[in-house]
Chain A
Amino acid sequence: DAGVTQSPTHLIKTRGQQVTLRCSPISGHKSVSWYQQVLGQGPQFIFQYYEKEERGRGNFPDRFSARQFPNYSSELNVNALLLGDSALYLCASSPEGRGRDGYTFGSGTRLTVV
């Protein structure tokens, strides 16, 4: 079975541009979460979606948005990119995203804003 897949793996964007990152969860997993990991830090929670509904949102500006599709895949959109948005963006899937569920992470999308 395929793990969590993220695309693209690397991306370079210019300040002010918009970017869309994609994530396909493990088959059967209904919850997808997004995390931002700035170099040298631990991941920071951005969003969690379960059954296409937003279940939680971290402390990120409205420039960040996401959605989940009927097949449980997800997109993360970031508008008006800033240099500080440069980071590794990780997607994690879990069966229901609660309790003892372990999250399975993808390899991430490395975004560089220049």
Chain B
Amino acid sequence: AQKITQTQPGMFVQEKEAVTLDCTYDTSDPSYGLFWYKQPSSGEMIFLIYQGSYDQQNATEGRYSLNFQKARKSANLVISASQLGDSAMYFCAMRAYSSASKIIFGSGTRLSIRP
């Protein structure tokens, strides 16, 4: 069975600080992809970053980086220099290539940035 676990329901961070959002996953499929999405109060899911299971290097996209530790089955999102606009729900998600049609999401972390 495939599963995504996000253990931090909510986090408060001071503006301009870095923040790490935790994500662990479980799958028996050797080929899979990991995603992070941001969901502001408007409801739209915004794609942030992708990491493939065979990628040798950790993915980076601007202020976002993914700390991928395959042996530990963790895929933490790191946001550097947080901004007020980063306040939102963040979801970790996975797609195993054997079941390529669906993405499985975690329960999310609500990030609040303090000015």
Q: CB < 8 Å: which of B42, B102, B104, B105 contacts A107?
A: B42
List of A residues within 8 angstroms of B91 by Cβ: 42-43
List of B residues within 8 angstroms of A90 by Cβ: 43, 45
Instruction: Known A-B contacts: A35-B105, A45-B104, A58-B102. Give 5 more (CB < 8 A).
Output: A55-B101, A56-B100, A56-B102, A98-B101, A105-B47
Q: How many positions in chain B have a CB within 8 Å of any CB in the partner chain?
A: 25
| CB of B24 to closest CB in A, whole Å | 14
| CB of A32 to closest CB in B, whole Å | 11
Q: CB < 8 Å: which of B43, B106, B107, B108 contacts A108?
A: B43
Complex interface bits, B91-115 against A, C-beta within 8 A gives 1, otherwise 0: 1010001011111111110000000
| CB of B103 to closest CB in A, whole Å | 7
